[in-house]
Amino acid sequence: MSLDPATVRRIARLARIRVEEAQLVPLGHELSGILNWIEQLNEVNIDGVEPLTGAANMALRLRPDVVSDGGDVEGVLANAPDRAGSFYAVPKVVE
């Protein structure tokens, strides 16, 4: 199996990563190499196996409903590449 350029383009688009046209084919080969290697997992019998979703085998702890955070506008915005007053700023989004 080899990922065709259209698939690579679709994946790159989903992941929001710019990939130059010329890179689509080589990147497709590279990713296919990894995916083909992963195919070995098809030989494992997984009938009736419950998936393990995480290594921590316990129930979720719940937090009391207490306000303990927020109120730090400057801290939240200090690293922003573009801001306008107390807002983050991005190129205009058309809905």
* Residues engaged in binding other proteins (CB under 8 A): 3, 7-8, 11-19, 27, 30-31, 33-35, 37-38, 40-42, 44, 46, 49-73, 75-82, 84-95
CB of 15 to other proteins, least distance (A): 4
- At 84 the three-state DSSP class reads strand
Q: Which is nearer to other proteins, 22 or 61 (CB)?
A: 61
Tell the smallest beta-carbon distance from residue 22 to other proteins (Å).
Answer: 14
DSSP helix/strand/coil, 83: strand
- How far is it, in rounded angstroms, from Cα 81 to Cα 91? 12
Q: Which is nearer to other proteins, 22 or 72 (CB)?
A: 72
CB of 28 to other proteins, least distance (A): 10
CB 12 within 8 A of CB 43: no
- Give, in order, the Cα–Cα distances in Å from 46 to each of 42, 50, 51, 57: 9, 9, 9, 20
